[in-house]
Structure 1
Amino acid sequence: MKVYDNPARSEWNTLLQRPVAEAARLEEIVSGILQQVKTGGDAAVKALTLQFDKAVVDDLQVSESEFRDAASSLDEALKTAILTAKANIETFHRRQLSEPEMVETMPGVQCWRKAVAIEKVGLYIPGGTAPLFSTILMLGVPARLAGCKEIVLCSPPDKQGKLHPAILFAAEAVGVTKVFKAGGVQAIGAMAYGTATIPKVSKIFGPGNQYVTCAKQLIQQEGIAIDMPAGPSEVAVYADASANASFVAADLLSQAEHGVDSQVILVVREKQLVAKVQQELDTQLAVLPRKDLAAKALENSKIFVITEEATALELLNEYAAEHLILACDNAGVLARQVVNAGSVFLGHYSPESVGDYASGTNHTLPTNGYAKAYSGVSVDSFVKKITFQQLTRQGLQMIGRTVELMAEAEGLEAHANAVRVRMGK
């Protein structure tokens, strides 16, 4: 990791950039794949799965027997862990449900807003180098709580054309209605356009690499909603003199192991902490099964020495990390100054991995600086808010002249007349 000692603010924009593929070339590749799926349907999805995942898939949809085999083959301790995490996620997300509140804006004029579930949603679950079955809990639980009628899931198969048993167990546990063996851009295209086997959905959720993120952004231009542009994983850690170097290094590596295009950022107050963290990184990295991926990610990662606390928080808010860890004794105070982050972890005993799996909060979060404007996934992500209003005769009499005057001033006479003809009665 490169170290920058109190860099000038004029350099921040350049130094905080994420590693990205060349945009024009990326979009060209992704557009081509989406077009293949749009015109070729199931056959294109299968061909692309063979090309990219090296897997032959005869039947895209997971069968009942595959679900049974997965449940019987999965370790009982892991099943219990998945169900425990599911329960915590349900507990947190259930509190996000709300009943319509009737508001009388003036006598006889009642307005209210009601949350209505999106009927068909698609969940994308990355497989690739790691089967992220935890993401199924993060997306499936709020989708089911919201009341979505059809929950479609796509995930890339292994080279034997199978999905990991934990993916199938988690999907069944949260109530996913259909599961398909398709990943990458072709899965996003299949859910966006629909094929003979994979249903077309109204909104697509889930993280992915730069290709998946690009695909989601492109299909959004065609009228399919997406949760957010959630790309490669990232974490920023703020550490002061009270921080434990081994804890900090472990948190950095927990995100670096996601993939070569992940990025981790460390902001320290005291320069002497840098050497301690770097030593811990070397020690812990050496024994990681995914050390090659993590090492590549660290090449794109940076350490900032920022002497002033206020300046450090300004830099972190400018970075707008997907995950932000405040490894300090005064984390509760500093947390009040955080305005741009996907999810925040306070203190020395709140590792980011707890939020990734089981604390209850959602781990599908905005990356690449989108935390400046986007929220993480919640129950609200799976509903539309529809407004209603009902007027009595008295209510229309009271508000009618206001509407007439405003409509006439805008030159919209028919609007005014829709009120006038009623008031005349």
Structure 2
Amino acid sequence: MPDDRSSDTRPSPDALLDHAEREGRGRLRIFLGAAPGVGKTYEMLMSGRARLADGVDVVIGVVETHGRKETLALVEGYEVIPRRKVDYKGRILDEMDIDAILARRPALVLVDELAHTNAPGSRHPKRYLDVQEILTHGIDVYTTLNIQHVESLNDVVAQITKVRVRETVPDSIIDQADDVEIIDLTPDDLIKRLEEGKVYFPNTAQRAIENYFSPGNLTALRELALRRTAQRVDDQLLIHMQAHAIPGPWAAGERVLVCLDARPGGAARVRYARRLADRLRAPWTALHVDSTRSASMPEDDKDRLATNLRLAQQLGAEVTTIPGQNVAQDIVRYATANNFTHIVVGRPTRSRWRELIEGSLTYDLIRNAGDISVHVISGSERGTEAASRSVKA
């Protein structure tokens, strides 16, 4: 008997595949901080102790104590896997021993400083790759990471701190983690720790406060960490919805979708969508539905559409084109499946009589958008704000 269920109510194949790939792998928990010294390693060791108390087999793969007394005290009582010695140009370097960890096969291993670069000649150039190998063997990993080491934020952090961080971790590592725990400390409390010599030695602490650890820098880095964590939670919610075929949108993080076609005014819609996304601190996407009419589109219209899609990409949007015939239904279906909370469209350009006879994309969207807000934008920048408030689904 054929399956006549709507595809909207079926679990997403991509989400199911993602769920299947996680089966059999170890679980990854990242302790994420805004800056060095907020207490990531301390919290990781405390969480590991709690697991030890529950009877879980926990070992330390690598922990950098940096001479901090509180950290050194917490290491006591753990089984520590001896590090591997690497001879690099006559200098002996210590690196985490992956083979020893795999041979020991604990339930959980603690791995500090995920962004660390391994010594030349190591099996993997980066520690996060070591962690990925450990996870494939079904071993859980707790690890630590500072927000400045996240690849997509590298430029932003450099602008804030005037320091370019060379060691980075792909965003996909955070996205694939089972848990991300943000270790939050106010700028005042972190500066106090610095002044007390709990982060760096006293002779370097004051210089650090005056430069990288200024209150303004710490506030900005803290905001980045909180926003990146919130984004990940929103993405996980979307994956859960898709895996279980739960219709959206849910009241989670905001998402903005701007719809582009060959009509004039596309640039105004793109710029409005960018401003809306900035106000909401939300990701945004520019969508074009490629229908049968697209093939017969005049060259001027094709150029206008391509220009607007390029503008959206330049302003930071994800640009997507999907095939479709009923454009309004296809937009709503895409927006619902991907948990968009706002749709930005253009004001109808045809006469009222033609709209009554032939229908209107804009009004079809408003009627069918459900809980999604629809922003109707005029073709001119000057009229954008007023028009955008006039109609909501």
TM range, smaller chain: 0.3 to 0.5
TM-score for the superposition, normalised by structure 1: 0.31
